[in-house]
Each structure stands twice: as structure tokens, then as C-alpha cells.
Chain A
Amino acid sequence: MVALAQTGRTGAAPPAATRRRRPQVRVGRSVTLLLAAIYFIGPLGVAFWFSIHDRLHGGVRFHEYTGVFSVPGLMDSFTLSLKLAAATIVILLVLLVPTMLLVQLRLPRFRPIMETLCLMPLVVPPVVLAAGIFAVLGSGPLTSGPLATIASDLQETSLPWILALEYVILTLPFSYRAIDAGMRSIDLATLVKAARNLGASWPTLTVRVLLPPLRTALLNAGFLAFALVLGEYTLATILQYTVFSVWIVTAGQTDGQLQTALSIMSLGVTWVLLIVIGLFAGSRKGRSRSIRRRKTA
């Protein structure tokens, strides 16, 4: 969510307006930040206390954290989630990036259609999505005949592609927004013309000229997909795959403290990734922003 807020802000009001409103904005920001901090840190703190509090003997102990790795199924479910996240990100980027570039550069009239399609999943609840998948997988042509093997391959438990495909749909709106924000901040059409003019072929110019300035946007999109996939629970339970989030719930059913500890740890993993991407992308951000400023000046 933090990343979403960031990408939202890159398309912000013109600098002049921001400058004029600065004092009020600063106060408003601090208050909002404080409220948000309380909202996030409060429950987390309580949860953390709960997970380390020794109810029998009093005091604190960390064995829920140290013992986590010995609980059966952890590594399996975590690897599954990682594999799913990787598959989702790959499919998503392979699908979105060329399409968006094509629409932006060559077929601008398809933009509204693409936008609508990509934002559609926001209004379709995951439960409905799952029900739809069941209906399709259970339909005649997919239960027997040549398509049946494909259908069963898709549901392979070691890497259920069907789940990855659904995650692609779920994460589509967020990733789309992230990439779109990145694409809007650079003049792709002119860069293409310049590179073509200098003799670049389409593949070369895509790799050398178009993708580098989009790196931050792609990282943002990938990270959003990663975070969503790692935390997704509804679809995975309905389709009965023991991904990390499902495993946390199951494993913790007998032990509330363990469950809480696991949740906090998975949050920690996500945060570490957020910080990594922030460091990785930070140098690029100032750059694209100043390009835009000069253009409006």
C-alpha cells in the first residue's frame, strides 16, 4: 500500500500549486502520518506483545520465533508462495509491458479499452472469481478430451498455474497503475523516434531505451504483485492450495501465539523487500521527477 501511495503521488499537482499550499500541506501531512502510524503500529505492537508474552510463567520468550522453522510445512508453503509470486510477476510483466507499450506508441485509441479491462478485477470479488474458475474447470470440454490434460496440468499442486493466472488478474489493476504512472512520466514516443533515427531496431530500443527509464515502475509493479500474492488467502483456500498464508492459518489453529508470530514475520519479510526496492529505485525517482519539472517549466 505504501508503494501505491507513492506511485499515486508522482502524478501530483503542478509544482507551483504545491509551493503555494506548502505550510498547510506540511501540517496536514504530519497529522495524517501520525494517525496512520498509530493505526498501523498499535495493533502490530499488541500482536507482537501477544506473541512473545509467556502466559504460563509471565515475562517474555521468543521461542515462537526461534521454533518457527521446525514446524512442518513452512518451507513447502513458503516456496510455493514464492514460486507463485514469481510466476505471477513474470506473466504479468510479459503481458502488460508489451501491451502497454504498443497501445501507448501505436494504438492509442485502444487505451480506454485496455484501461477498463485492467481495472475490471477491482470490482470482481475473489470469491466470484473462484466460483467462475470452478464452473469453467468443471465444464464438459475441460473434464474429458484433449483439453482435460491441460486443465489438470494447470492444477498441478507443485506449481498450480491456475492460481498464478488468477493472481495475475487480481494484481492487474495495481500493477497496471504502477506501470502507467511510470510511462506517463517519460516521453516514450520521442525516445522511440530518437532511437529509431539513430539506427536502433525495435528489440534493441525496447531493451536499451524504453525499459531502463521504466525500471522503477516495473519494480513497483512487481513488488505490488509480490506483496499481494504472498498475502492472498481467499482464492488459495477455495482452490485448496496450501500457500504460505493458508499454512499460517492452519498451523496457527492450534497455537494462536505461533500464528501471530508467523504473521508478524511475514510482514517483516514484506517490509524488508519494500526497503530494498526503495533503496534500489530511490536514485531513479528524483531523476524522472526533475525531467518532468523542466518540461512543464
Chain B
Amino acid sequence: MAFLEARGVCKGFGPRDQPAQRTEVLRDINLELERGEFLAIVGYSGAGKTTLISMLAGLTLPDQGTITLNGKPIRGPGPERGVVFQNYSLLPWLSVFENVMLAVDQVFKAKTQAEKRAHVERYVAMVNLSHAIDKKPAELSGGMRQRVSLARALAMEPEVLLLDEPLGALDALTRATLQDELARICQVSGKTILLITNDVDEGILLGDRIIPLGMGPAATLGPSIAVTLARPRDRKALNHEDTFKSLRGRVIEYLLGEGRKQVKKPRASAEPVASSLASAPARGSEVTP
């Protein structure tokens, strides 16, 4: 059994007793994440990416299906699953230090005050924000806020990191810088990470595997595509590499092709993998069901 696993997960919103007004957001989600693995999920806006991560975090429960961590079903949120929320979710009345401290205080109850301080300072330094450690979120730029949010999640030293479009609100240049920073931090920490993104290149640049999420309503996950590029990955060189191009081609092909079909029949979970295998150029990378 995989470290983090979702089996047949469905989720909808709206009144349960009136199916006409109820929208099914996610259908039949199957997901496996091994310890130490970096998985990227790419999908359309509004497809249900945040909904998926909320369920993995335990903030909402699935309508059907099960999610397990370490073999134990997830019943609620917990600090062993660190979340970087899409909209940072920093507490505006606390400084950068205090925001991170709130998490550290809660997770490392046994540490002394001095140890906790050092711990917070270490993680703030990791995201290159030592100079702004006493600032309030309102005084920070969008990118800096996202880094604080990342520092807070990392400082909890969780077993899994759930990142919901952590770089989504940024301009292309800042985004590229933070991607490199994220890649560095992830390699150093060796954590199990699930990254949600709307940028295919970002997913390939950072992930060990990439899975496209189709268009909603009733979105399902596409085939899992292993990213066989060696690390550390250089974004400039990558653009010319054939493997990178073919990976990107396959993800985009799924998203524009099968993943965009709006009306889906319920079906067995093994099928979409097989069908995309047939259509995908099988060059330089493998498909794992």
C-alpha cells in the first residue's frame, strides 16, 4: 500500500437530497504517492484541484471512497500533513516570525523557547526572508507571502507537504525564481510532496511524476506520467530537451483531448491509462498505471 493513497474518491457540492442542484466536482479519483516522492498534478482552473487537496489535508471529507496515510484512513486535518494554501492564509495580525512560530509552537511542544526560535529562524532563512522576519504580511509582496506560507508548512516538518498552486499568483519572472528555490528546498528536505499547479512546465520541472486532472464537472485524474529527467534540472537547457518536449506534449494532449470531454461515463479506473497510452508518443518516458 502506498504512503498516501486515494481510492475511488468522489466529491460534490450542493444539497445532497436534491441531485438536480448538486454539482459533482471530482469523480473516481485514484492516487498513489510513495514516501519521498514528488508528485505534480496539473489541471484546469475550477477543475477541483483545491477540493482534492482539501480532502487530502482532511479539511473536507470525500462523499465516497477512502484516503489513507500510512495505511490509516484520514478523518480530519493534522500537522503531519503540511498545507500551503492557494491564498497563503497568513494571519495578518502576526509578523512573519509569529506566523511561523504559531505552527512551530504547536508541533514541537517539547522544544525550549530558544530552540523554537532558532527553528523558526532557520526556516525563514531557508526561503530567503530573514530580512523581513519582523514584517507583517500586509508589508510583503505576493511572492514573499507565498514564501512565508511555504516556510510555515516546512517548519512543521510534516510527513507530506501539500502545495496548492503555491506560485500561482505570481508573475512569470518571480515564479521562475521561486520554482528554482522550491526545487532546491525539496531536494534538500527530501520530503514527500504533492504539488498542485496550473502550469505544465512547472509540474515537469519539479515533479518526479506528473498527473493531469481533466476538466470539470466530474473531473478525473488522467494517466500518471513519470518525469525521467535528471536532477538538478536546468530550466534553460530543459526547453530544448526532447524528453521534456515529449512529456509536455503528452500532458497537454491529455488536457486538451480526453481530459476536456465534459460528459464522462462512469468507468473502471484502469481504462483511461490504456487509451492514452495508445495515443501518446511513447518516447523517453514511461506510463505507470
> Do A and B share a complex?
no
Residues of B that sit less than 8 Å from A by CB: none
